[in-house]
A = this chain, B = another copy of it.
Amino acid sequence: MASQTVPQATAERLPLYYRTLQQLVANGKTRISSSKFGELVQIDSTTIRKDFSYFGALGRKGYGYDTQYLMDFLKKTLYQDELNRVILIGVGHLGTALLNHNFLKNNNTQIVRAYDVDPKKIGTKVSGTKVFAMDELAANDHHEIVAAILTVPAAHAQEAAEKALASGIRGFLNFSPTTLNLPENAYVRHVDMTVELQALIYFLNHSMETKNS
């Protein structure tokens, strides 16, 4: 499969391209140039053309990209043509925000169950998703679940991840501000608010220096 040689940085940009194409198609835009597309996603067009080149001829010189075709292609590439079931561990403010977010709206990802230690939350539903006791986590069979979203306090993240792993889950979207120690067959993606803020501040200062020089 061609995508096996796709660099990680390219792969990480695909969901952003996909989301932007969904908006373009929804707005009735049938084609777009790489430079115009670059403005929308705030990535230079050279990088965009390079990214798409890994997947063969997706655009034509002088014509640009067929938005519907490209959207369909990325949908398949990102496995968004099938339903991806995930669970969420930790129904605090962040967990509740993610449950309210409703991933299903624009894509095929669904939080099918949530877990928490708080007896007041267990048995309730948050935005339609039922909250179960943490004790049930390791006991449940989660081999059909593609990933667990971790929104527990840092001190409990490792233990929660191990329980999820024992239930058959090997993908983790970790929002807890700590590094997880998991076996090699597990895949962790860390979402770090501090990292995002630092990147923003870097680019802000950097762009000011470039403009002033």
Chain B residues, Cβ within 8 Å of A106:
177, 194
Chain B residues, Cβ within 8 Å of A44:
8
Interface string of A132-164 (1 = CB under 8 A from B): 000000000000001101000000000000000
Interface string of A164-206 (1 = CB under 8 A from B): 0000001111000101000000011111111111111111111
Of A14, A195, A209, chain B has the most CB atoms within 10 Å of the CB of: A195
**Of B15, B100, B193, which one neighbours A98 at CB under 8 angstroms?**
B193
Does the CB pair A203–B189 fall under 8 Å?
yes
* Any B CB within 8 A of the CB of A58: no
**Of B97, B147, B191, B195, which one neighbours A201 at CB under 8 angstroms?**
B147
Does the CB pair A173–B196 fall under 8 Å?
yes
Chain A residues 73-96 with CB under 8 Å of chain B are: 77-80, 84, 86, 92-94, 96
Chain B residues, Cβ within 8 Å of A9:
9
Does the CB pair A93–B84 fall under 8 Å?
no
Given A11-B206, A93-B96, A100-B93, decide whether A201 and B171 contact each other with a Cβ distance below 8 A: yes
Q: How large is the interface on A (under 10, 10 to 19, 20 to 34, 35 or more residues)?
A: 35 or more
Which of A16-24, A59-67, A116-124 lies at the interface?
A16-24
Question: Chain B's nearest CB lies how many Å from the CB of A15?
Answer: 4
Does the CB pair B201–A109 fall under 8 Å?
yes
Does the CB pair B109–A198 fall under 8 Å?
yes
Q: Can you list 5 pairs linking A and B with CB atoms under 8 Å apart?
A: A8-B203, A15-B196, A42-B188, A78-B198, A109-B201
